[in-house]
Amino acid sequence: MDLKECSKCRKSKPLDEFYSDPRHKDGRQSACIECHKGANKKWRKTNKKKVGEYNRERRTKIEYHYVLYNERAKSLGLRTGFKTEEVNEVLKHWANKCAYCGDKASAISHIIPLDAKNRGPNIKHNLVPSCQKCLEARTDIDIFFYAVTTGKPIVSILVWAAGDPVLIKQLNDMRERFYDHSFKDEMIVALKAAKNKS
């Protein structure tokens, strides 16, 4: 196992405990993830005003994009009903973290993509926060295929989608059509959550 010394704490750690950075010879940042997160937390505490401004600006951008998404959904004849004020509800539910990897969210993605092929609705329970990296990786890719190829868990995403019975049925049909029984357990959890809510 390759080890690297952190430039902050001076501990030798495995390379997977450092964020990727193509500018370095080993392809990793000089400070470990733990030190990097600690430095970010300290900076956020001392710069609360800047953090607040950034978060307000980010929400405004997200709201603007979802006005456009509503228009796109209508033009495709898809179900819509997402209101811009629901952005905060979606972000709050996920604690402003990416639903796919847990990093800080910078956008919102559709669980079932909003396009003519996938026919994903533009409604609250079809939306989850996403970091830019996961958003780009997920673009128009089936959620189940994404989970298989990346190894990322999707149970919490399916439980969130279960807030809309029509959406969870659409996801279940998608799973059955393309993936047979690969996600049977995850769908059972989500369907139980949907029944408990109704």
Give CA–CA dist 161/169, Å, rounded: 10
Give CA–CA dist 17/1, Å, rounded: 12
pLDDT over 70, % of the chain: 81
Tokens of 74: 């209508």
- Sequence-separated (6 or more) residues with CB below 8 Å from residue 79: 73, 121, 122, 123, 166
- List residues bridging with 104 in a β-sheet: 97
The answer to whether residue 184 scores a pLDDT higher than 70 is no
Per-residue pLDDT, averaged over 45-62, amounts to 80
Confidence at residue 186, expressed as pLDDT on a 0 to 100 scale = 59
Could you tell me which of 191, 164, 91, 74 has the C-alpha nearest to residue 109?
A: 91
- Sequence-separated (6 or more) residues with CB below 8 Å from residue 193: 159, 162
Confidence at residue 12, expressed as pLDDT on a 0 to 100 scale = 94
- Sequence-separated (6 or more) residues with CB below 8 Å from residue 127: 66, 82, 90, 108, 109, 110, 111
pLDDT band at 9 (very low <50, low <70, confident <90, very high): very high
Give CA–CA dist 106/129, Å, rounded: 7
Cβ density class 80-105: b for 16+ within 10 Å, e for less: bebeeebbeebbebbebebbbeeeeb
Q: Are 19 and 25 in contact (CB under 8 A)?
A: no
Per-residue pLDDT, averaged over 105-131, amounts to 83
pLDDT over 90, % of the chain: 17
pLDDT for 146-172, tens place per residue?
A: 887 788 888 889 889 888 888 888 888
Q: Is beta strand 12-14 parallel, antiparallel or unpaired with respect to 3-5?
A: antiparallel
DSSP 44-63: HHHTHHHHHHHHHHHHHHHH
Per-residue pLDDT, averaged over 128-154, amounts to 82
pLDDT band at 104 (very low <50, low <70, confident <90, very high): confident
The answer to whether residue 96 scores a pLDDT higher than 60 is yes
Q: In this structure, which topology does domain 3-46 adopt according to CATH?
A: Wheat Germ Agglutinin (Isolectin 2); domain 1 (3.30.60)
Confidence at residue 38, expressed as pLDDT on a 0 to 100 scale = 92
The answer to whether residue 18 scores a pLDDT higher than 60 is yes
CA atoms within 13 A on the CB side of 141: 14
Spans of all domains in the chain: 3-46, 48-197
